[in-house]
């Protein structure tokens, strides 16, 4: 059985807004990086942009799934002693399942792309094997969300590690914000590990993710500003 609703009732819809903000910020960074690829024809920018777009698309898929689920749940009405309940059609059920499947697969592969970019030197066989395991995890984690968030935590953690080392090398103030923002995003996923015990952890995780994305946006704006000044 797949559990798809982690949010408490009072938070319905608010998580969609948070995800929408994430989509905008990630797409902005992805679009800018794509511009740099057109300028330099350096494939690392294309790879970077693709990873960010994949993560943004994953949130769009999650938003679609949540929108459908919340609309179905709100379709239950009580009139006197009678309760009218909307029965989920097969089409709706398929839409919801595929939305959350695409959410998991795109988010995992988006972060995997960033991990590969920051940890070069893998041979093709290693990349294929790792990609296969991520694919398997996507399907296994329909019932085991814990494993999904743990895998993401590992990938984000490795990216943070590289960014922190880069921060020491460059000694740039704006570069310091980047590992911090990614660390906060990782912290959001730590909260998601506990949503099985209390729904409030979902709320905390979403809010922490929002802070992380705003910090990422701030870092991005500062980097562009500094680039224009030099």
Partner 1 sequence: MERKRSRTDIVADILSTIQDKGGEIKPTHLMYKSNLSHKQMQTYLDDLVQNELVDKVSKKNYQYIIITDKGHRFMAKLKEMKEFEKAFGL
Q: Residue numbers of the site for partner 1 (CB under 8 A)?
A: 32-33, 36, 39-42, 44-45, 48, 117-118, 162-163, 165-167, 170, 172, 174-175, 178, 219, 223-224, 226-228, 230
The distance of closest approach from Cβ of residue 153 to partner 1 in the complex, given in angstroms and rounded to an integer, is 20
The distance of closest approach from Cβ of residue 225 to partner 1 in the complex, given in angstroms and rounded to an integer, is 9
**For partner 1, which is the closer residue by CB, 92 or 162?**
162
What is the Cα–Cα distance from 73 to 38, expressed in whole angstroms? Answer: 45
The distance of closest approach from Cβ of residue 213 to partner 1 in the complex, given in angstroms and rounded to an integer, is 16
**For partner 1, which is the closer residue by CB, 65 or 212?**
212
**For partner 1, which is the closer residue by CB, 80 or 227?**
227
**For partner 1, which is the closer residue by CB, 63 or 156?**
156
Residues facing residue 84 across a β-bridge:
77
Instruction: Write down the number of H helices and E strands in the chain.
Output: 7, 2
78 phi and psi, to 5 degrees? -115, 130
What is the Cα–Cα distance from 184 to 140, expressed in whole angstroms? Answer: 26
Radius of gyration of the CA atoms of the chain, in A: 19
Q: Which helix (H) or strand (E) holds 84?
A: strand 82-84
The distance of closest approach from Cβ of residue 110 to partner 1 in the complex, given in angstroms and rounded to an integer, is 15
Considering only the C-alpha atoms of the chain, give the largest distance between any 2 of them, rounded to a whole number of Å.
71
**For partner 1, which is the closer residue by CB, 77 or 165?**
165
What's the residue count for the chain?
A: 230
The distance of closest approach from Cβ of residue 53 to partner 1 in the complex, given in angstroms and rounded to an integer, is 16
Residues facing residue 82 across a β-bridge:
79
């Amino acid at each position: 059985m797949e559990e798809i609703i982690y949010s408490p009732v009072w938070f319905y819809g608010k998580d969609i807004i948070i995800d929408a903000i994430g989509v905008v910020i990630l797409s902005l960074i992805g679009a800018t990086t794509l511009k740099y690829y057109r300028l330099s024809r350096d494939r690392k920018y294309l790879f970077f942009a693709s990873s960010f777009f994949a993560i943004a698309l994953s949130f769009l898929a999650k938003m679609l799934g949540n929108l459908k689920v919340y609309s179905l749940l709100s379709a239950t009405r009580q009139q006197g002693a009678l309760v009218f309940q909307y029965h989920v059609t097969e089409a709706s059920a398929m839409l919801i399942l595929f939305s959350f499947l695409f959410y998991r697969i795109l988010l995992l592969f988006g972060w995997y792309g960033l991990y590969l970019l920051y940890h070069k030197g893998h041979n093709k066989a290693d990349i294929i094997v790792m990609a296969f395991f991520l694919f398997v995890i996507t399907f296994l984690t329909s019932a085991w969300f814990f494993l999904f968030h743990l895998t993401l935590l590992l990938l984000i953690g490795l990216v943070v590690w590289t960014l922190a080392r880069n921060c020491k090398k460059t000694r740039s103030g704006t570069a310091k914000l980047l590992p911090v923002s990614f660390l906060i995003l990782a912290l959001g996923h730590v909260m998601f590990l506990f949503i099985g015990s209390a729904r409030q952890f979902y709320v905390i995780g979403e809010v922490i993710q929002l802070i992380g994305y705003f910090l990422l946006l701030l870092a991005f704006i500062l980097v562009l500003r500094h680039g224009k000044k030099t």
